[in-house]
Amino acid sequence: MGLDDSQKLKVREWIESGLDLSEIQSKLQEELGENMTYMEVRFLVDDLGVMPKDPEPEPEVLPAEPEGGESDSGGAPAPAPPMAEPEGDPFGETPVGGGVSVTVDQITRAGALASGKVTFSDGKSAEWTLDQMGRLGLSAEEPGYKPSQDDVMEFQVQLQKKLSGPRF
């Protein structure tokens, strides 16, 4: 990582303005011409000693109740809103925003700290490994396949969420 002091200051400003790591990764590429992996951006932020801000939770909007607190069914109380579905197995396949899904192996491959599979938005799959040095490896089932930059960024975000879950 060859950032000078002015570039590091710019990264600090981005963090303090509320950008998340994947947005900072994109800005580094677009504005500073620095191509860094998500993990390298995490290390950079750690080196700068600045904590990214958690996004503000959106206020929950409840449906409006009919006049008088009664429902249209002749005086019976309105049914309660449905409960939020609990999140599924944090290590199972979870489709996300762009159609990228990530799984974590229950039994890690030899020589890896963690391993699993990813399916990208175009339906192509790959196996991933994370070694003891923090390096992420990706081996596509189709020779020569390269996922889109958006899919790679989404994969890294989802992988970070999976690996920071209760198992890790």
Q: What is the pLDDT of residues 24-82, one digit of tens each?
A: 888 888 888 888 888 888 888 888 777 766 666 666 666 665 555 554 545 555 555 55
H or E element, residue 145: none
Between residues 62 and 93, the one the model is more confident about = 62
Does any domain span residue 124?
Answer: yes
Strand segments (E) across 10-145: 94-95, 101-104, 114-119, 125-130, 136-140
pTM for this prediction:
0.42
Does any domain span residue 66?
Answer: no
Domain boundary pick from 13, 31, 48? 48
Domain that holds residue 40: 5-48
Distance CA 40, CA 63 (A): 44
Give the chain's domain count: 2
The pLDDT value recorded for residue 64 is 63
